[in-house]
């Protein structure tokens, strides 16, 4: 692995973001709107239901966590799509970069993109709604890490599709998170789902992450097993996504997708 190459590809996206005020605004705008909206909904629920009585910030905290996941996944896809839209894809793949270097660079860049959006949104929650996500304590780090890994995993899976099928796969890039969201039990406990959906939910790391966030905030206890399960499923899906990416890269070399990607 070459740090210079990883930094070079990071620099390409760093220049792109920092050169354009609308791009920075776009990164901050949606998370802030999302958090503000869910903040008011959360306030309403807290005063009208008994379930959330003890934890005013449950919905808002889960909204912040979900937004982080969403931004990470979309952010990763965006980095890949940027190369296709700018017709720079061929230049990138004829540069002497290993697949691992490309992925590492995109993973780091996606994290920075997500944090640019997340930090202002998180800072807003305290003065606006009197809620701090930091109430999750040290376990907040593990939940974020788990969400980050899953977001990146989804990004790599979608990028594999883009490699394999070309730009026509772009629409899937935008819809992946929406497909998984109902099974993630982001805003409701898993018991809310029909039994068959619960079985699907249990093989996703999301349900463990969001169940644990609610558990910490509502019951003030920590169930390490949830965090452990989330990491186990994450490790499995992340490994599969890397294998699929390599497979798609080789398939693209056989099918000629790489050479026609910008067209």
Partner 1 sequence: MKNLIEVKNIKKNYGKKQAVKGISFNVQENEILGLLGPNGSGKTTTIGMLLGLLKPTSGQILINNLKLENHRIEILEMINFISPYIELPKKLTVKQNLNVYAKLYKVQNIEERIEYLSEKLRIEELLDSITGELSSGQKNRVSLAKALINEPRVLLLDEPTASLDPEVGDFVRTFLEEYKKEKKISVLLASHNMSEVTRLCKSVLMMKNGEIIDQGTPDDLINKHGRTNLEEVFLKLSRSKSEFN
Burial class for 185, CB neighbours closer than 10 Å (0-12, 13-18, 19+): buried
Report, in Å, the least distance between residue 14 CB and partner 1.
Answer: 10
Please identify which residue in the block is written with the tokens 């061929």: 90
The reply to whether 253 sits near partner 1 by the rule CB under 8 A is yes
The reply to whether 50 sits near partner 1 by the rule CB under 8 A is no
Report, in Å, the least distance between residue 132 CB and partner 1.
Answer: 37
The reply to whether 22 sits near partner 1 by the rule CB under 8 A is no
Report, in Å, the least distance between residue 70 CB and partner 1.
Answer: 24
Output the furthest CA–CA distance in the chain (Å, rounded): 59
The reply to whether 1 sits near partner 1 by the rule CB under 8 A is no
Region from 32-40, 182-190, 216-224, 251-259 binding partner 1, contact rule CB under 8 A: 251-259
DSSP codes of every residue in 108-145: HHHHHHHHHHHHHHHHHHHHHHS--GGGGTTHHHHHHH
Say if residues 28 and 117 touch (Cβ distance below 8 Å). Answer: yes
> What distance lies between CA 167 and its chain's CA centroid?
21
Report, in Å, the least distance between residue 32 CB and partner 1.
Answer: 24
Choice from 9, 35, 69, 121 touching partner 1 (CB under 8 A): 9
Which residues, including other chains, have CB under 8 Å from residue 230's CB and lie 6 or more apart? 143, 146, 205, 206, 208, 209, 212
Strand ranges in 56-125 using DSSP code E only, listed in sequence order: none
Q: Which is nearer to partner 1, 7 or 197 (CB)?
A: 7
Say if residues 63 and 109 touch (Cβ distance below 8 Å). Answer: no
If one counts every other C-beta atom within 10 angstroms of the C-beta of residue 168, the result is: 9
Q: Which is nearer to partner 1, 2 or 220 (CB)?
A: 2
The reply to whether 255 sits near partner 1 by the rule CB under 8 A is yes
**Separation CA 23–CA 115 (nearest Å):** 14
The reply to whether 145 sits near partner 1 by the rule CB under 8 A is no
Region from 50-58, 197-205, 227-235, 250-258 binding partner 1, contact rule CB under 8 A: 250-258
Choice from 20, 126, 192, 220 touching partner 1 (CB under 8 A): 20
Q: Which is nearer to partner 1, 8 or 182 (CB)?
A: 8
Say if residues 161 and 172 touch (Cβ distance below 8 Å). Answer: yes
Region 66-125 residues binding partner 1, contact defined as CB under 8 A: 82, 86-98
- Angstrom CA distances, 133 to 42, 85, 251, stand at 13, 36, 43
Report, in Å, the least distance between residue 119 CB and partner 1.
Answer: 24
Report, in Å, the least distance between residue 128 CB and partner 1.
Answer: 34
Question: Given the rule CB under 8 A, which residues bind partner 1?
Answer: 2, 4-5, 7-9, 11-12, 15-16, 19-20, 82, 86-98, 250, 253-256, 258-259, 262-263
């Amino acid at each position: 692995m070459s740090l210079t190459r990883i930094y070079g590809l990071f620099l390409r996206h760093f220049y792109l973001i920092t050169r354009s005020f609308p791009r920075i605004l776009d990164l901050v705008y949606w998370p802030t709107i999302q958090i503000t909206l869910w903040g008011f909904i959360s306030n309403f629920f807290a005063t009208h239901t008994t379930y959330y009585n003890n934890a005013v910030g449950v919905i808002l905290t889960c909204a912040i966590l979900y937004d982080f996941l969403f931004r990470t996944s979309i952010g990763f896809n965006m980095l890949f799509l940027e190369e296709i839209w700018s017709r720079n894809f061929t230049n990138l793949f004829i540069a002497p970069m290993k697949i691992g270097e490309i992925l590492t660079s995109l993973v780091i860049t996606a994290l920075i993109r997500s944090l640019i959006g997340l930090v202002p949104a998180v800072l807003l929650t305290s003065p606006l709604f009197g809620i701090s996500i930091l109430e999750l304590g040290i376990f907040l780090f593990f939940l974020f890490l788990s969400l980050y890994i899953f977001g990146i995993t989804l990004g790599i899976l979608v990028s594999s599709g883009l490699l394999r099928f070309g730009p026509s796969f772009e629409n899937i890039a935008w819809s992946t998170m929406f497909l998984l969201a109902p099974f993630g039990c982001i805003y409701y406990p898993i018991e809310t789902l029909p039994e068959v959906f619960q079985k699907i939910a249990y093989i996703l790391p999301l349900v463990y992450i969001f169940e644990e966030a609610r558990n910490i905030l509502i019951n003030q206890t920590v169930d390490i097993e949830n965090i452990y399960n989330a990491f186990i499923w994450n490790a499995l899906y992340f490994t599969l996504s890397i294998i699929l990416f390599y497979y798609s890269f080789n398939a693209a070399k056989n099918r000629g997708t790489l050479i026609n990607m910008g067209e």
